[in-house]
Amino acid sequence: MGVERISLLGVVVLVAVVMGGVWVQAKEAAAGREAPWRMHTLFSVECQNYFDWQTVGLMHSYRKSQQPGPITRLLSCTEQEKKTYRGMELAPTFEVPSMSRHPRTDDWYPAINKPAGVVHWLKHSKEAQNVDWVVILDADMIIRGPIIPWELGAEKGRPVAAYYGYLIGCDNDLAKLHTKHPELCDKVGGLLAMHIDDLRALAPVWLSKTEEQREDKAHWGTNYTGDIYGTGWISEMHGYSFGAAEVGLRHKINDNLMIYPGYTPREGIEPILMHYGLPFSVGNWSFSKLEHHEDDIVYDCGRLFPEPPYPREVKGMETDPNQRRALFLNLECINTLNEGLLLQHTANGCPKPKWSKYLSFLKSKTFAELSQPRLVTPKSVQMMEVEHMQTQEKHVGNPGKPYPKIHTIFSTECSPYFDWQTVGLVHSFHLSGQPGNITRLLSCKEEDLKQYKGHDLATTHYVPSMSRHPLTGDWYPAINKPAAVLHWLNHAKIDAEYIVILDADMIMRGPITPWEFNASLGRPVSTPYDYLIGCDNELAKMHTRHPDACNKVGGVIIMHINDLRRFALLWLHKTEEVRADTAHWSRNITGDVYEAGWISEMYGYSFGAAELNLRHIISNEILIYPGYVPAPGVKYRVFHYGLEFRVGNWSFDKANWRNFDFVNKCWAKFPDPPDPSTLDHTEENALQRDLFSIECGNTLNEALRLHHEKKKCPDPTSISSPIRENLDSISLSPPNQETAREVTTSRKFGKIEEISASRHSPDLKNESRESSLPAMANETFTAMRFWIIGLWAFSIFVFATVISVMLSGRKGQRKRGKSFKTKRRSSHSGFRDLNGNDSHLRSAEIA
């Protein structure tokens, strides 16, 4: 017991020495950077486990990054909460009265503690009297390098801040209602670096404007605030922007210094701050702070967040240097959190944790080098307005200018149905020669995200699901498309000038570029959706002021980023409008054969674009549906397999594969289309139509094959014959058959029976509409199960036989007489020794 205490004491002393050394280094480094000004870092939290583990991560990164000057946690707690609170020693703390429940209005809004805490600190803290510059951060951040206001370009009257593009209230009537200077309203937040005099002027107005916003419930709507939930949750952020405008502060806005893990940093940019406010992933590993809302991990000795992949594994995941760099940032964020927890557990007096490969990595030279303090690069400190001016100068009046940057996006949900579509689209994107990057906008509920296995299928931006509308309760998954685009615009760092928007059920055959199809600012390009007859009747007159500008378009969209930023919110708003207008869902008004409002999102797009008078260039040469006869000589860039198509007796309908998990079942694929050599060559139109259909089916199967290879599925040629036959059968029967056969094992008769299962086949056919009401595909891997069960039964039989032989031997020994007693004992002793030696050998072999 004494040895254990001495050992534990030694560990605590060692950690104290190490942490003391870090403090000394930080102070020495800070001494050189502080002169001639004094600075202070602030962050605001509440008395909760949720904020405690964030505090541990931020404090550890503060020490590790050698951030100059002191840091203070503004801790907002009620008196009742303080009685049971365990985390007073986690950081230098200034206690602040809690305003989570507003003392005057009784409004429950914990975010107001941030401005209230700053006001209280300025008024009552002695430290606030001895500072020139203040850096304000959020608790859910990791500091990567020193954040020094004057080195970032901050001046008195000109604070530096990160860009929060989703604060659209700065651009509309909300700003006019809440500040006398709406023209000064800046969409900023997250990272704030300002002079103490500016903060003294701003803080009380920041608080009062937040209170104003919370009380102005009439303007909580998404179209005013940009908050897709419309609950006033970002009132504090607007309160900051309106307060800064009110006191005349103009920010230097920087979109490079802070990054969300999961996003790709721009080339040449070194972010010095990570904000893990959104879910992020590496391969099939993922992290979301909301999953740890009640987590007492700070006080649970030895427990860390789930370990992510190791750097050497990540190197094999991604070949693109920038994308790989983004994955390394994800690792750095979670590993820094876990390193902080490890040190905190030791400081808490926890016993030394057991050795593990991951703990060894956190203490390794490799991780120390990967997470060493970063310094800003010249590009990192460029402000947005400067960058914007340079971009304009580069492109205006320059006929030899380079082509503009492009980014391709598509929207999906957390389901097997969208996963196999994602595999197909991303595969075809890489083959098509499309410039720029592609991003999947993944809309998921938190509980679905926990179970989701497809994080590594594409570069992904995670979006809160709006399938069930948060205000109306309406179930309409298609609304996720405009909601996701809006979320991406407001949260992602986008350096592209043009955005190409596709659907997941598409296969790219070639590049889709604005210069080839003549897209420009104010003139997006799209493909014809002639069934949107609502553009020609009273529906358009009811939902847009410019029905004459309503274009029947969709599918593929090429739009300038500035148009998309103005348009995205209207797209969402008009979708909600049409969805709520149930009186006009009928087929004669909308063209929807199901009369269920299912194409409301498509009308939302057309009506929103008309509202802004965006006139589309409509091209018939971008998209074709497999099964349609192609126009001679046209090089179509996209297959849109939204409708059933067939070649002879073979057919494909995406809706029949809604619940089949092609992505996670090794070597699963669709039924192979016919060999092109078997086609009838006498009729040219039919031949070209069928060749396109075959190309689409083969591309999907090739994408799945490469995906399974990447997953390192077992080589099908090395698998035993019966199982290989079963794998071959994973290319299932054509889904348009009236019946599908499921092979099952009959225990009673020990034979294989064939059981017919009815398959739904919709009667309604509409060549101008995508299949909306899917049939379910129920296919099983029964042959594999049969052989596994057989193997299992054989193993039991062998085991039983061996046991029986051993027992019969023992009975024989018991029948011997007493004259064999001595011999029996010596023999038994030898048997025991032999088993002991053998167990050591087996242990060594396993090790």
* Tokens 């801790």, residue located: 75
pLDDT of residue 352: 94
pLDDT at 602: 98
Kindly report the average pLDDT of the chain as a whole number: 83
Angle between helices 49-65 and 321-347 (to 10 degrees): 110
- Which pLDDT band holds residue 788 (cuts at 50, 70, 90)? low
Mean pLDDT on 189-213: 97
Residue 381 tokens read as 């400190």
Predicted TM-score (pTM) above 0.85: no
Contact indicator for 273, 191 with CB cutoff of 8 Å = yes
Q: Which of 270-279, 395-404, 445-454 has the lowest mean pLDDT?
A: 395-404
Whether 239 contacts 248, CB under 8 Å? no
Average of per-residue pLDDT across 609-627:
96
Q: How confident is the model at residue 145 (pLDDT cuts 50, 70, 90)?
A: very high
DSSP 593-645: TT-SSTTHHHHHHHHHHHHTT-PPEE-SSSEE-TTSPPPTT----EEE--S-E
At residue 757 the predicted structure's pLDDT band, cuts being 50, 70 and 90, is: very low
What DSSP designation does 821 have?
H
The band of 549, judged by pLDDT with boundaries at 50, 70 and 90, is: very high
Instruction: Name the percent of the chain in helix, strand, coil, to the closest 5.
Output: 45, 15, 35
Q: What pLDDT sits at residue 6?
A: 39
Pairing type for strands 141-143 and 133-137 reads unpaired
Q: Given a cut of 70, is residue 409 above it in pLDDT? A: yes
Where is mean pLDDT largest: 312-326, 696-710, 713-727? 696-710
pLDDT digit string, tens, across residues 566-590: 999 999 999 999 999 999 999 999 9
Which residues on adjacent β-strands are paired with residue 638? 508, 623
Residue type, 274: M
What is the predicted pLDDT for the residue at 230? 84
Please write the tens of the pLDDT for every residue from 34-47: 445 899 999 999 99
- pLDDT of residue 558 exceeding 80, the answer is yes
Q: In what order do the strands lie in the sheet with 623-624?
A: 506-508, 638-640, 623-624
Per the CB < 8 A criterion, the answer to whether 460 and 281 are in contact is yes
Task: Kindly compute the dihedral angle of the four CA atoms of residues 789, 792, 798, 804, in this order, to the nearest 10 degrees.
Answer: -100
* Percent of the chain residues past pLDDT 90, beyond the cut: 71
Give the mean pLDDT of 802-825.
48
More confident residue, 430 or 760: 430
For 53, phi then psi, to 5°, come to -70, -30
User: Can you read off the two tokens belonging to residue 63?
Assistant: 């020490």
In the chain, what percentage of residues exceed pLDDT 70?
Answer: 78
Is a pLDDT exceeding 50 seen at residue 778? Answer: no
10 Å Cβ neighbour count for 799?
10
Average pLDDT over residues 720-738: 48
Half-sphere exposure of 407 (CA within 13 A, CB side): 20
**In this predicted model, what pLDDT tens digit does every residue of 486-514 receive, in sequence order?**
999 999 889 899 999 999 999 999 999 99
| Averaged pLDDT, 610-619 | 96
140 has a pLDDT exceeding 80 = yes
- Residues with Cβ within 8 Å of residue 27, at least 6 apart in sequence: none
What pLDDT, on a 0 to 100 scale, did the predictor assign at position 841? 29
Take residue 196 and report the two structure tokens written for it. 């103490």
pLDDT of residue 398: 45
pLDDT at 793: 63
**Residues 634-651: tens digit of each pLDDT:** 999 999 999 999 999 999
Confidence of residue 610 (pLDDT cuts 50, 70, 90): very high
The string of pLDDT tens digits covering residues 817-836 is: 444 334 333 333 333 333 33
| pLDDT per position as a tens digit, 59-112 | 999 999 999 999 999 999 999 999 999 999 999 999 999 999 999 999 999 999
Tens-place pLDDT, residues 232-268: 999 999 999 999 999 999 999 999 999 999 898 888 8
pLDDT-derived band of residue 729, with 50, 70 and 90 as boundaries? very low
